[in-house]
Amino acid sequence: MTAPHPTSTAATTTQPAQTPHDLVGIGIGPFNLSLAALAHDLPEPLTTAFYEQRPTFHWHPGLLIDGATLQVPFLADLVTLANPASPWTFLAYLRTIDRLYPFYFAERFHIQRSEYDAYCRWVSDQLPGLHFSHQVDAIRWNHERALFEVDFTQIDTEGEAEALGRTYTRNVVIGAGTTPYIPEPLKPLADAPTVPVIHAADYLHHRERLLAADHITVIGSGQSGAEVFLDLLKHRPAGREKLHWLARTEAFAPMEYSKLGLEHFTPDYTHYFHALPQAQRDRLIPQQWQLHKGIDTDTITAIHHELYQRTLHGGWPDTVLTPGVTVRTAGRVANTQVELHLEHIQQGTRTRLTTDAVVLATGYRERPLDHLLAGLDPYIRRDSAERPRIDEQYRLTLDPAITGTLYVQNAERHTHGVGAPDLGLAAWRSATILNTLTGTNPYPLPKRTAFTTFGLTQHEAPASRDQASTTAEQRASNLVQLKG
């Protein structure tokens, strides 16, 4: 576990360029890092390579605010829920850096984001087969070799192209992640340099500049918006906070965190959701926003406490918290301020707000894959909304002419539901992919994971290929015995 991290000048693969891999991963975020770690632990190793355009692993570096915690327990690390004995668990990380006893006495079930980021970097620094500073440009199917060919650009320390390369593989998994979402009315402002209009993903990079602004507006009612507002509030003088917090939702609502509510993030619910008709799935997803877009109750409590403390000597803090508001249009005022044109949905009223800085806690969207998959587009089967069809094992449905398999991670919310971006399902999804890819069952998965029974008819997870084969053989044997 002390193998050095591959540098950007390393060979493009750990084997001859023309020797095909069993699996190539595109993107190295937590989900593909989970897959790489579990693939490394297989009793019969796969030949793998994972490519990432960034120079090192970082997980939302702009939101690693002091004290901010994960919204899932530490057991939702890269591997534990599939293989607790793995050398890549969070507890193994703590032992390696001599922090196991401090963690034990801290009695923390939810760890800090910065701690999770450090853990993932520890894994990425030691796990072989990870290639940073490699930008994947295209994926095609080579009919002659019956393999995927993956073209990439090796990037130098200045971000410039250093070399071009190509590798071949039998299977591909795309974990390209998400990209910050900026609402249309604010896109022109976010691209201009004069007045800070930044996405929360870059908050820490601009924090000092934001704190220097006279008046700041935070837009967005999710966890990121709450954490940014709280951090700004703590660092503004009492009585002169000059903070606005606006949200489109009808309330600054807590995230659904009841024990039975959390069962929407179990494999049981994922199986149930995938079996629903497409139209029903599309109706459900917007209705379930509070399962993953609400605010942690501890954060809400901390915000209220901070506001309350500022009233102890009389007066109210100079803050405005208004839900139920949309930004209709926005523009600059003399290149020094931003003017937001607001509409209150329930009242049907409109007003204008002038501010010196804006933080957009407006969430993320799945990163578009059209350019990356352009060479495979004729072979990809799509639903009525032109989205890729994805089966229960996270495989894109492809034309039979493609005999390789293309998997996706965190690009399947439309087929697998709200659990797609949840860290708690990372190890289970990685195990599902590896069980299917190998045709064996190296990571036995539980048959039941929730007390809730979703639906009136039961849906069982499909067996891996070896299990299906064994079942078929057993049925044949039973049939022979019956005939005898």
CATH number for the domain that contains residue 215: 3.50.50.60
**Side chain identity at residue 475, one-letter code:** R
Tell me, yes or no, whether 448 lies in a domain: no
Tell me, yes or no, whether 47 and 119 share the same domain.
yes
Q: How high is the pLDDT of residue 317?
A: 97
Residue 246 β-bridge partners = 219, 322
CA-angle at 212, arms to 208 and 217, nearest 5°: 95
Please say which residue of 364, 388, 409 terminates a domain: 364
Please say which residue of 364, 384, 419 terminates a domain: 364
Q: How high is the pLDDT of residue 158?
A: 86
Q: How high is the pLDDT of residue 136?
A: 97
Tell me, yes or no, whether 132 and 59 share the same domain.
yes
Tell me, yes or no, whether 140 and 93 share the same domain.
yes
The DSSP-derived string for 172-220 is: EEE---EEE---GGGHHHHH-SSS-EEEGGGTGGGHHHHHHSSSEEEE-
Tell me, yes or no, whether 28 and 161 share the same domain.
yes
Tell me, yes or no, whether 189 and 314 share the same domain.
yes
Tell me, yes or no, whether 100 lies in a domain: yes
Tell me, yes or no, whether 224 lies in a domain: yes
Q: What is the pLDDT along the chain (484 residues), one digit of tens a residue?
A: 333 333 333 333 444 457 999 999 999 999 999 999 999 999 998 999 999 999 999 999 999 999 999 999 999 999 999 999 999 999 999 999 999 999 999 999 999 999 999 999 999 999 999 999 999 999 999 999 999 999 999 999 888 999 999 999 999 999 988 999 999 999 989 877 788 999 999 999 999 999 999 999 999 999 999 999 999 999 999 999 999 999 999 999 999 999 999 999 999 999 999 999 999 999 999 999 999 889 999 999 999 999 999 999 999 999 999 999 999 999 999 888 999 999 999 999 999 999 999 999 999 999 989 899 999 999 999 999 999 999 999 999 999 999 999 999 999 999 999 999 999 999 999 999 999 999 999 999 999 999 999 999 876 655 544 444 444 344 333 333 333 3
Question: How many domains does the chain fold into?
Answer: 2
Tell me, yes or no, whether 204 and 339 share the same domain.
yes
Tell me, yes or no, whether 81 and 145 share the same domain.
yes
Dist CA 3 CA 438 (whole Å): 26
Tell me, yes or no, whether 96 and 127 share the same domain.
yes
Range of the domain at 315: 180-255+293-364
Tell me, yes or no, whether 219 lies in a domain: yes
Measured in degrees and rounded to the nearest 5, phi and psi for residue 286 equal: -65, -30
Q: How high is the pLDDT of residue 463?
A: 55
What DSSP element (H or E) covers 342?
strand 337-344
Tell me, yes or no, whether 190 and 159 share the same domain.
no
Tell me, yes or no, whether 50 and 143 share the same domain.
yes
Tell me, yes or no, whether 106 lies in a domain: yes
- Of 320, 457, 369, 323, the closest CA to residue 176 belongs to 369
Q: What is the DSSP letter of 65?
A: -
- Is residue 307 within 8 A of residue 234, CB to CB? The reply is no
Tell me, yes or no, whether 214 lies in a domain: yes
Tell me, yes or no, whether 82 and 221 share the same domain.
no
Q: What is the CA radius of gyration of the chain?
A: 25
Please say which residue of 338, 364, 390 terminates a domain: 364
Tell me, yes or no, whether 72 lies in a domain: yes
Collapsing DSSP to helix, strand or coil, 441 comes out as coil
Tell me, yes or no, whether 319 lies in a domain: yes
Dist CA 329 CA 298 (whole Å): 33
- Of 272, 225, 270, 275, the closest CA to residue 246 belongs to 225
Tell me, yes or no, whether 300 and 397 share the same domain.
no
